[in-house]
Structure 1
Amino acid sequence: MKLRVLGCAGAEFPNFRPSAFLIDDSLMLDGGTIGSVLSEEEQWAIKYIFVTHAHLDHIRDIPLLADNIVIKKLCNNVKIAGIKEVLEAISSHLLNNVIWPDFSKIPTTESPIITYWQIEPEKEIQIDGYSITAIRVDHSVPAVGYLVRRNGKSILYTGDTGPTDRIWEWADDLSALIVEVSFPNEMEEMALLTRHLTSSLLAEELKKIKKLPPHILVTHPKPQYYAKIAAELRELGIAQIELLKDGAVYDF
């Protein structure tokens, strides 16, 4: 699987973009960054966006992608996949004909740009050669992470989470783990309040995994603390940990 990091920051600043990961050109994990990175042709190739939760930095560019498609007069359909609470939030509060047009009915209800695909936690689904499972995590709103498998390779993406348990039971024999660290250690109280992780909290979470994967890719740092978080991650002494940067590409 090819993993392209479109955005991996916990806020937006110059050179720091919101969360979005593109797998093999057509499947996305979260949609915080799309149009500012992908060309027209690359946007048209997107078929699925699996959303971890409904916070704006993870869904922001979905409406703009839909608008780009309809303006181009393409017949593309993008499936927005997520748990019930996430899809309800997007349809009620974002694509609701107030904040943005309801692209689940445009250009027609029979052939819309956007189709909602409700998935159930821990029920594996099969699409285009991928096996995908949503697993609940502990965030400030209903949220899941995703385990994506294909051709013997597997990527586990936590999305946003604080200390949690269930998802680590699905972390065996991973090719890569994408896990968040939003705050430096000195802000642990804020991290726990908002249900995020620090480097020290991540170290405790990794103890819950029987065998650490060869790649532990850290996402969602607050840009103001990027250097401090990077230093604290190095201090953990875990060789396979890497703090992600926008634009990185991996092949697993």
Structure 2
Amino acid sequence: MRVRVLGCSGAIARGCKTTSFLAGESLLVDAGTGAGDLTRDEMLRIDDVLLTHAHLDHIACLPLMVDTVAAARAGRPLRVHALPETLTALRQHIFNGVIWPDFSRLPSSDYPLLTFKPLAVGDVLTLDEHCIEVLPAQHAVPAVGYALRSAADDAAPWWVFSGDTERNPGFWARVNQMNVAALVIETAFSNRERELARLARHLSPEVLADELDQLDPTRRIPIYITHTKPAETETIMREIAALDQVRPGQREVAHDIRWLSASHVFHI
């Protein structure tokens, strides 16, 4: 299984695009500004979009992408999978005929360009070549994470994405049961802004360290840090590295922590 990082920044700046991953050729995980780097042909090959939540940095390119491929998708609607609350937010605030056309009813209700597919934590879906499990997240709005693996092999390892989250014991309980090849987890704020992170329900390095203490210490999983704010990335990664050097004495384990960059490709 191949997962391409289109965007993984917590905000925009030159060279910084917000969250979006392309799994294979047909599945998009979140539709932040990184999705804007896809060619039109690549967009046309996407049949399903998994959204973690409704915040703009994770959905910004979805309405524009639908418009880009509209003429070629007649009779083949793009399927958007998300929590019911996320789908309601899209209907009310984006595809409402005011901010953007309601492509779930255009060109007609019988033949829309977009369909909404509700999901719930714990659901397991098969979409084309991918098996997907919906994981819990704890964010300022209803949110989920996702685990993906090849649908062709039940024993295949998982690529796991936390989505936007703060402290999340349910997530770690499930991750510890999985054969994980790579874990992508957010850390949006530095320790200097730990209180803002708590209020916004994001992780800071200090809280990330607490969360990683819930990971089975016998397992060595590559951990990729995503969603860092452009102005804070160096500080966040320095603080994470410092904490990971100090704390292993408690656990007799040091984590394999890496910064995630756009254009990185996972081969799982």
- CA shift, 1:247, in A, is 1.5
Alignment of 1:152-231 (within 5 A): 152-171=156-175, 172-210=178-216, 211-231=218-238
Stretch deviating more after TM superposition (32-41 or 179-188): 32-41
Instruction: Describe the superposition over 1:139-179 as per-residue Cα deviations: whole angstroms up to 9, x where unpaired.
Output: 10111111212230211111101111111122132111110
Tell me how far apart the structure 2 counterparts of residues 35 and 133 of structure 1 sit (CA, whole Å): 22
| Pair 186,60 (structure 1): closer, same or farther in 2 beyond 3 Å | same
Match of 2:241 in 1: 234
SS at match of 2:28: strand
Stretch deviating more after TM superposition (70-79 or 55-64): 70-79
Task: Tell me, yes or no, if the aligned pair for 1:175 and 1:213 is still in contact at 8 Å.
Answer: no
Instruction: Describe the superposition over 1:83-141 as per-residue Cα deviations: whole angstroms up to 9, x where unpaired.
Output: 11111111111111110001111222222111101112112122224221212211101
Aligned residue pairs: how many?
252
Alignment gaps of 5+ in structure 2: 246-253
Stretch deviating more after TM superposition (187-196 or 229-238): 229-238
| Pair 137,35 (structure 1): closer, same or farther in 2 beyond 3 Å | closer
What is the TM-score when the length of structure 1 is the normalising length?
0.94
Match of 1:128 in 2: 128
Tell me how far apart the structure 2 counterparts of residues 127 and 16 of structure 1 sit (CA, whole Å): 29
- Among all aligned residue pairs of Structure 1 and Structure 2, give the percentage whose two residues are the same amino acid: 33
Alignment of 1:237-252 (within 5 A): 237=245, 238-252=254-268
Task: Tell me, yes or no, if the aligned pair for 1:206 and 1:212 is still in contact at 8 Å.
Answer: no
Tell me how far apart the structure 2 counterparts of residues 127 and 72 of structure 1 sit (CA, whole Å): 21
Tell me how far apart the structure 2 counterparts of residues 115 and 101 of structure 1 sit (CA, whole Å): 14
Match of 2:68 in 1: 68
Stretch deviating more after TM superposition (208-217 or 38-47): 208-217
Task: Tell me, yes or no, if the aligned pair for 1:176 and 1:213 is still in contact at 8 Å.
Answer: no
What is the TM-score when the length of structure 2 is the normalising length?
0.89
Tell me how far apart the structure 2 counterparts of residues 53 and 178 of structure 1 sit (CA, whole Å): 16
Larger radius of gyration: 2
Alignment gaps of 5+ in structure 1: none
Tell me how far apart the structure 1 counterparts of residues 75 and 111 of structure 2 sit (CA, whole Å): 8
SS at match of 1:149: strand
Given residue 153 of structure 1, which amino acid in structure 2 is its aligned partner?
A: P
| Pair 187,35 (structure 1): closer, same or farther in 2 beyond 3 Å | closer
Residues 1:106 and 2:88 are matched in the alignment: no
